[in-house]
Amino acid sequence: MLKHAVAAALALACVSVAHAGKTLDTIKQRGQLVCGVNPSLPGFAAADSQGNWSGLDVDVCKAIAATILSDPNKVKWVPLNASQRFAALQSGEVDILSRNTTWTLTRDASLGLMFTGTTYYDGQGFMVPKKSKITSAKQLKGATVCVQSGTTTEKNLNDYSKAMNLAMKPVVFETQEATNKAYFAGRCQAYTTDASGLAAIRNKEAGNPEDHVILPELISKEPLGPSVRRGDDEFFTIAKWVVFALIEAEEYGITQANVDKMKAESKDPVVQRILGTSEDTGKLLGLDKDWAYRALKAVGNYGEIFERNVGPKSALKLPRGANNLWSHGGFMYAPPVR
């Protein structure tokens, strides 16, 4: 028994410190994280006239860059449409895909990638012109519906139409831009995509956002989150734990504004672990002890990211809802940083 115990202890010792994987090495050598994002979805990923990117998905990549490279701006942004995104990740064109992408079994099991978690819980909805006086998706029987190809949205639309016997007529476009233009030009009676996406599109593209209504029904579950290439466990672990740290930091009141004070003064064991003033959790990730501190200093905690980009005080004015912390009735629950 002693022999087995010693062997087990040696085995644990051998794996206690993470070894840098190929992706992490490449990012460090390159001096840049390459992040695949939506070409233009305000609130999640969009560039201003100076080429500065912002959004919830953008902040995830900034946090990871701050963690690995000590600088949230060391990111190369690669805009990808729905049909390009998975090939870009598979081929190594991008290190991480942070592009309002739904986590599904097929994608997780057959595309050579792994989802790192959920950063926004969404559901598919419908938008219609207010003048149509349509108040429910169940009134869309026989309606033409604008939808983007290569998305779960297209499949969900067909499923819902069949299940509800609505005989909807999908009008399919390859890009989001083409889908937007078609809907606002009146080529379709309705537009379907994630509810958050509808809010972003209405806010940005409509001449008067008040002229368009997002119907109350959500017809699917759309857990949106980043994904990385399968086969690099080290980078996969880093990418998911950065997000977990942002969520747990919100639970313990660590913000972008107070992170330095908390790092210097907090006696809370959890806060000390997150900010690297007690245990060195970074060595388990192939990083240093300040890994989570840098992410929080760069973008703030998850709640701050949500509020800044998509929350009630942002242009999108989306309620926190399911994206609240678990302790506030939502789904956001992070494994402990310990």
Structural domains in the chain, CATH included, are: 18-121+224-315 (3.40.190.10), 124-220 (3.40.190.10)
pLDDT beyond 60 at 200: yes
How high is the mean pLDDT of the chain?
93
To the nearest 10°, report the CA torsion of 33, 85, 53, 232: -20
Looking at residue 194, its pLDDT comes to 95
First vs last C-alpha separation in the chain: 29
- The pLDDT value recorded for residue 4 is 45
Q: Is the pTM of this model over 0.85?
A: yes
- 43 pLDDT above the threshold of 50: yes
The set of residues, in sequence order, having a beta carbon less than 8 Å from that of 262 and lying 6+ positions away, is 253, 254, 271, 275
Q: Over 70: is that where the pLDDT of 45 sits? A: yes
Q: What residues does 76 pair with on adjacent strands?
A: 34
Amino acid at 240: K
Tokens standing for 138? 């169940």
pLDDT at 256 over 70: yes
> With DSSP H G I counted as helix, E B as strand and the rest as coil, what are the percentages for the chain, rounded to 5?
45, 15, 40
**How many CA atoms lie within 13 Å of 183's alpha carbon, on the beta-carbon side?**
31
pLDDT score recorded for residue 7: 43
The first and second tokens of residue 146, run together, are 């604008």
What's the pLDDT band for 1 if we cut at 50, 70, 90? very low
